């Protein structure tokens, strides 16, 4: 889909004295690709710690965090959110750093949507 924008400077007088309009076509910009942030299950990270991570870094409510934590526990992984590349990369780094500082083996990854 293309858009046309007209300005007064685009109006030109033809040889017969009638006004004609010159249009400029701008291509539609494409949205950047989005990335899913995933939490992976392990046998050592406490469930309460995972809930805390989800509340702190993803802004989820306690109930939402608890549901996602249970999904990770039962299914082995869960999508926590979908973000632009830079935001997803930052969230993965924050979670991994926080888990390491608290000596938990929690894994967080991202993949293209």
Residue 29 CB neighbour total at 10 angstroms: 6
79 to 16, 67, 95: CA distances (angstroms)? 65, 12, 14
Q: What does the angle CA 103 – CA 107 – CA 73 come to, to the nearest 5 degrees?
A: 100
Instruction: Please say if the pLDDT value at position 112 is more than 70.
Output: yes
Instruction: Please say if the pLDDT value at position 16 is more than 90.
Output: no
Do 98 and 20 touch, CB atoms closer than 8 A?
Answer: no
Position with higher pLDDT, 15 vs 99:
99
pLDDT of residue 17: 64
In this predicted structure, which of 18-27, 57-66, 93-102 has the lowest mean pLDDT? Answer: 18-27
Q: Retrieve residue 12's tokens.
A: 């030109």
User: Considering the entire predicted model, what is its pTM?
Assistant: 0.74
Instruction: Please say if the pLDDT value at position 4 is more than 60.
Output: no
**Rounded distance between C-alpha atoms, residue 56 and residue 100, angstroms:** 16
Instruction: Please say if the pLDDT value at position 37 is more than 90.
Output: yes
pLDDT of residue 22: 72
């Amino acid at each position: 889909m293309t858009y046309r924008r007209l300005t007064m400077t685009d109006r030109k007088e033809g040889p017969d004295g009638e006004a004609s309009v010159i249009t400029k076509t701008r291509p539609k910009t494409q949205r950047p690709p989005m990335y899913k942030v995933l939490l992976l299950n392990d046998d050592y990270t406490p469930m309460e710690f995972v809930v805390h991570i989800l509340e702190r870094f993803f802004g989820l409510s306690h109930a939402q965090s608890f549901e996602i934590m249970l999904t990770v526990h039962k299914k082995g992984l869960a999508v926590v959110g979908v973000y632009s590349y830079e935001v997803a990369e930052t969230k993965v780094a924050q979670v991994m750093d926080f888990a390491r500082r608290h000596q938990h083996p929690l894994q967080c990854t991202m993949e293209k949507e």
